[in-house]
Amino acid sequence: MKLRIDRKTFLRKLLSVLVGDAISAFALVFFLKPNQMIAGGVEGLSVIIEHLTGIPLGLLVLVLNLPLLIVGIFLLDKEFSFFTAISIFVLSGYISLFEFLKPVDLAITKNIVLACLYGGCIRGVGAGILFRNGTSAGGLDIVGAIMKKHFNISIGNVLLMLNCFIVGISAFIYSVDRALFTLVALFISYQVIDKLQLGVGRQKQVLVISERSQEIANKIQSDVLRGVTFLDGEGAYENHKFKILYIVCTSRELVKVKNIVKGIDPKSFLTVSDTSEIQGQGFRKIEI
């Protein structure tokens, strides 16, 4: 099957690769590695092997990624695999460049707590940019993408579980304390990844029970520009039939929705819950 990508999509994804990989490599080289923390996944294994053998980190990242990339080609979208392949080479290049430019033992901070917090967050931003635009930096990100695509399992949770084993190895290379800080950095990183992939602030689903349901629905549609669905409801005590309003909106729009409901019917009953994923008109498609 031929890969067909329009020019706008190609440029957007290429830009996400260039920016996301630069951010991820920066976090690894200037925050995590100088403080004896690893990035997890293939990059983490590469840091450990480099420490033991002296083989350049950028080269190890490239070589260790290739087998996983081959698996991803067969199990993931061709477009995702194509840009992930580009990303692997770009990430390896960025790491090699930063390692070359960085003076020996230079770190943005030598405070292990700050390095853990900022390194994990910055790396999560880099990886999140890639995932949000339908690509990745390779490595165990490919495994996470496979789990998300075929089993709808959170990418962040998959990567965190897989990396526990790798971090355990680092405990013997550096120290248990450094390994524990690495786990904290990874947790922060994967929380940021999930937030960026799903959208900052998960979308909300709202249920409203009111005697003035039609009036509320009209106001929401005109002022918030969100669709409203009527569901048939019936009270268990008096068997009173009524309409339930079902609305899906962003966190920012939720404030408007609540104000409209309470403004029209102060006695209304309203519940709000988070959604883990939404696909459809008006909401951004997750491209994995």
Chain-centre distance for alpha carbon 14:
18
Average pLDDT for 21-34? 94
**Mean pLDDT score of the chain:** 85
Could you read off the pLDDT of 235-263 as tens digits, one per residue?
A: 888 888 889 999 998 777 888 899 999 99
Q: Would the pLDDT of 1 be above 70?
A: no
What is the rounded CA–CA span in Å between residue 244 and residue 206? 10
Write out the two tokens for 51: 């420490």
Provide the pLDDT for residue 7: 85
Say if CB 40 and CB 159 are below 8 A apart.
yes
| pLDDT band (50, 70, 90) for residue 284 | low
Query: Torsions phi, psi of 244, nearest 5?
Result: -105, 130
Provide the pLDDT for residue 253: 84
Output the pTM of the full model: 0.71
Could you read off the pLDDT of 164-212 as tens digits, one per residue?
A: 888 888 999 899 999 999 999 988 988 888 777 665 556 789 999 999 9
Provide the pLDDT for residue 3: 66
Residue of 218, 279, 226 lying closest to 251 (CA atoms): 226
Residues of the chain with pLDDT > 70, as a percent, come to: 88
Average pLDDT for 221-238? 89
Could you read off the pLDDT of 211-224 as tens digits, one per residue?
A: 999 999 999 999 98
Average pLDDT for 68-96? 86
- All residues at 6 or more sequence positions from 165 whose CB lies less than 8 Å from its CB, including other chains: none
| pLDDT band (50, 70, 90) for residue 268 | very high
Write out the two tokens for 165: 């084993």
C-alpha gyration radius of the chain? 23
Name the strands in the sheet holding 269-274, side by side, starting at the edge strand that comes first in the sequence. Answer: 229-234, 241-249, 204-209, 269-274
In this structure, the chain runs to a length of 288
3-12, 142-151, 152-161: least confident range = 152-161
Average pLDDT for 79-99? 90
Q: Which residue has tokens 């339930």?
A: 244
| pLDDT band (50, 70, 90) for residue 15 | very high
Residue ranges covered by each domain of the chain:
7-198, 204-274
Sign of the Cα pseudo-torsion (145, 37, 54, 109, in order): positive
Provide the pLDDT for residue 2: 61
The string of DSSP codes covering the chain is: ------HHHHHHHHHHHHHHHHHHHHHIIIIIGGGT---SHHHHHHHHHHHHH---HHHHHHHHHHHHHHHHHHHS-HHHHHHHHHHHHHHHHHHHHHHHHSPTT--S---HHHHHHHHHHHHHHHHHHHHHTT---STHHHHHHHHHHHH---HHHHHHHHHHHHHHHHHHHS-HHHHHHHHHHHHHHHHHHHHHHH-SS--EEEEEE-TTHHHHHHHHHHHT----EEEEEE-TTT--EEEEEEEEE-HHHHHHHHHHHHHH-TT-EEEEEE-S---BTTBPPP--
Specify the higher pLDDT residue, 141 or 188.
188
| pLDDT band (50, 70, 90) for residue 287 | low
CATH of domain 204-274: 3.30.70.120
22-31, 64-73, 150-159: least confident range = 150-159
Provide the pLDDT for residue 96: 95
Q: Would the pLDDT of 39 be above 60?
A: yes
Query: Torsions phi, psi of 48, nearest 5?
Result: -65, -45
